[in-house]
Amino acid sequence: MTLTRRHLVALALAAPTAFAFPAAAAETVKLGYQLPLTGNTAQYGQDFKTAAEIALARFNASGRIPAKVEIVFEDSRSDAKEGVTIARKFVDDEKIVGVLGDFTSGVSMAAAQVYKEAGMPQLSQTASHPDYTKISEWQFRNITTQAGEGPYNADWMVAKGYKKVAVIAEQTDWGQSVTKYFADEIAAKGGKVVLTEYFNRGLPDFRSLLTKIQREKPDAIYTGFFYEDAANFLKQMKQLGIAIPVFSTSAAHNQKVIELAGADAEGLSLTTNFLPNSPKPEVKAFVAEWVKIRGAEPGQFPAQAFDAVNIMLEAVVKTYPKSTRAAIRDALAATKDFPGVTGSTTFGADREPVKQLSKVRIVGGVFTPVAD
């Protein structure tokens, strides 16, 4: 029986914790992926898993190496202790030569301590805390950090004449980095942060926070939140009749913002390095496969996961048949101009990605590239 890509993806989706193909080859190369599959961030982990399965099905069907690659998925529940437990499990499995994940910077950094000591290459698709890659030579990421996004957004807003800005972000290490890098740059460009406020993720009522913002009369609002909070914030903002431009990071780039907030999401501006309506063949192929499985276009994070897995798989190709942990690490470090769906990725000497950001705005219910 011949397995088509559709059959391969279907097999992947049916596997709850691991994805492997029938053993037609003499050996299997194993990778680990720690991600939240349950808990309050499970929606992101499930997206990463689907993206990984698409990438893996395509790779194993390609025959680029005379072996199959297996990804072992483990549920971290976005819990640092669980992340460390998974990391220990992965390093104890001698067949696992590289690891992807985790979702949050906190869990990724906790697990990184284990990978550092064991000498296991770790590539996170979303850990954006500036200190993550400083842990050791074994940590990589393919997402831009707030050290890049904050100044980029600040420059964008100042160029539009927005000098007085209210800043809000979730109460996490990531949220702190959102406010810090933005505030530093806007001050350097002659602007001023008139209000800084933090909130707990999943806050159901933003009205008191919005009232505080309104009192300060800012030119614009800069935000550090994910799509669920973004939708609530935008809806309640419109309910209160507040008409202030809102800018955000790539973390809010998700079609669900539009689905949940409807017309109230109109005008939200943010940065991204993934455009699902891009004419590039690699983007069109990924989006088509995703829509077939999920029924809607993918956002920034699934695209990041798809690229992360493919970058890791490329490292396997470069090192096979001697795909040791050290060899995979060196191959990752040598990544240059990798043609992903989030654009070209090159790792610098600090294992940080060199990537290009784009500006988008929700116009007519669609994330639309803009020049200003």
**What's the average model confidence in pLDDT over 63-67?**
97
Whether residue 9 has pLDDT greater than 90: no
Identify the pLDDT of residue 141.
Answer: 98
Which tens digits make up the pLDDT trace of 229-260? 999 999 999 999 999 999 999 999 999 999 99
Identify the pLDDT of residue 129.
Answer: 85
Beta strands 28-35 and 18-19: pairing type? unpaired
Would you place residue 130 in the very low, low, confident or very high pLDDT band (cuts 50, 70, 90)? confident
Identify the pLDDT of residue 4.
Answer: 43
Identify the pLDDT of residue 20.
Answer: 37
Identify the pLDDT of residue 17.
Answer: 40
Tokens representing residue 228 in the block: 């669920």
Identify the pLDDT of residue 128.
Answer: 87
Q: Is the dihedral of CA 70, 325, 78, 342 positive or negative?
A: negative
Would you place residue 1 in the very low, low, confident or very high pLDDT band (cuts 50, 70, 90)? very low
Identify the pLDDT of residue 6.
Answer: 44
**What's the average model confidence in pLDDT over 196-221?**
97
Could you tell me the pTM of the whole model? 0.87
> What percent of the chain has a predicted confidence (pLDDT) above 90?
90
Which tens digits make up the pLDDT trace of 140-154? 999 999 999 999 999
**What's the average model confidence in pLDDT over 174-201?**
96
Lowest mean pLDDT segment, chosen from 17-21, 55-59, 65-69, 365-369: 17-21
Q: If you average pLDDT over every residue of the chain, what do you get?
A: 92
**Residues contacting residue 289 through CB under 8 Å, at least 6 positions apart:** 5, 9, 54
Please state the φ and ψ torsions of residue 166, each to the nearest 5 degrees.
-95, 135
Whether residue 21 has pLDDT greater than 80: no
Per-residue CA distances from 213 to 242, 248, 257 (Å): 10, 16, 21
Residue 165 bridge partners (DSSP):
193, 220
Whether residue 330 has pLDDT greater than 70: yes
Beta strands 338-340 and 269-272: pairing type? unpaired
Whether residue 35 has pLDDT greater than 60: yes
Q: In angstroms, how far is CA 280 from the centroid of its own chain?
A: 20
Which tens digits make up the pLDDT trace of 269-309? 999 999 998 999 999 999 999 999 999 999 999 999 999 99
Which tens digits make up the pLDDT trace of 68-116? 999 999 999 999 999 999 999 999 999 999 999 999 999 999 999 999 9
- Mapping DSSP to helix (H, G, I), strand (E, B) and coil, where does residue 244 land? coil
